[in-house]
Amino acid sequence: MSAPSVVRSVAALRSQVRAWRGAGLRVGFVPTMGALHDGHLALVREAMARCERAMASIFVNPTQFAPHEDLSRYPRDEAGDLAKLASVGTHLAFLPTLAEMYPEGASTWVEVEGLSKGLCAERRPHHFRGMATVVTMLLNQAQADVAVFGEKDYQQLLIVRRLVRDLAIPTEIVGGRTVREGDGLAMSSRNLLLTPEHRRLAPTLHRVLTDTASELADGRLAAPVLHLATESLQKAGFRDVDYVELRDAETLAPLAAAGAHPARVLGAAFLGPVRLIDNVPVMSGSSEAPR
């Protein structure tokens, strides 16, 4: 496949999107922070299944990292990323500079209340404000018909859906399913930071969440099951377990038990300095394995 056109300014991005849309072509968009893996490429394929043109952005957004977090360690590989985008036929790669995204005096924040509380927000209190702000910027810059966000960052996906609806951003948000390694580990750029030993332990997170979701499928009280899940992770070698929780799949309201509404089990835990997250649906009243 041919390499994507690389665009670094909003003006050039908009001019290309305008030309495509003017020619009646639908445009799909996948915002990323780079360090691409098959999970990202699946999101690009999802965009291509829905649109004639697909774009990805690569921007490691500083405002969603806290000072003590891993911004400087976050993996970066522009040439490798562009080769991967080319391999699936991505038409355009948007690689804005920091100054293009945050001009001098930038001082506007987008915040989603409610959904941005709890779960990952406990450990990362300003993370979702930075994410919501940069996603609003990227969507307004791109003016795409569709944008695809991975279900692996489930709280993020719900926040994006909410802000797009609330702020009337004219782009349809699509959730892309989580792509996993052969051993079940959810693909993540952060997996590259794991030591070989931690990499061997990492799939335990998915296995524990899946087992937990299966046990909760019959509607039993969640608290003791979630408690045991946390203990299992700690015993398996996870240093800190931020949370293992049962939540409403649409509102993220905490649930005492799975019931009529779709529910999800979400977890976050550390292996050494690396924080891994994952989530799986609860298949209530069904013996089907959660994906």
Among 9, 25, 66, 140, binds a second copy (CB under 8 A): 140
Q: Does 44 bind a second copy (CB under 8 A)?
A: no
Does the CA dihedral 141-147-153-159 come out positive or negative? Answer: positive
Residue 26 tokens read as: 């639908």
User: Measured from the CB of residue 173, what is the shortest distance to a second copy in angstroms?
Assistant: 13
Burial degree of 245 (CB within 10 A; 0-12, 13-18, 19+): buried
Q: Single out the catalytic residue among 37, 40, 127, 206.
A: 40
Q: Does 120 bind a second copy (CB under 8 A)?
A: no
Tell me whether residue 21 or residue 207 sits nearer to a second copy (CB atom): 21
Among 14, 50, 123, 239, binds a second copy (CB under 8 A): 14
Residue 24 tokens read as: 């009646």
Residue 105 tokens read as: 């005096």
User: Is residue 40 flagged as an active site residue?
Assistant: yes
Helix (H) or strand (E) holding 18: helix 10-22
User: Measured from the CB of residue 61, what is the shortest distance to a second copy in angstroms?
Assistant: 14
Q: Does 90 bind a second copy (CB under 8 A)?
A: no
**Which residues from 156-185 bind a second copy, rule CB under 8 A?**
162-163, 165-170
Q: DSSP secondary structure string, 159-222? A: HHHHHHHHTT-S-EEEEEPPPB-TTSPBP-GGGGGS-HHHHHHTTHHHHHHHHHHHHHTT---H
Binding-site ranges for a second copy (CB under 8 A): 10, 14, 103, 105-115, 132-133, 136-137, 140-141, 143, 162-163, 165-170, 251
Catalytic residues: 40
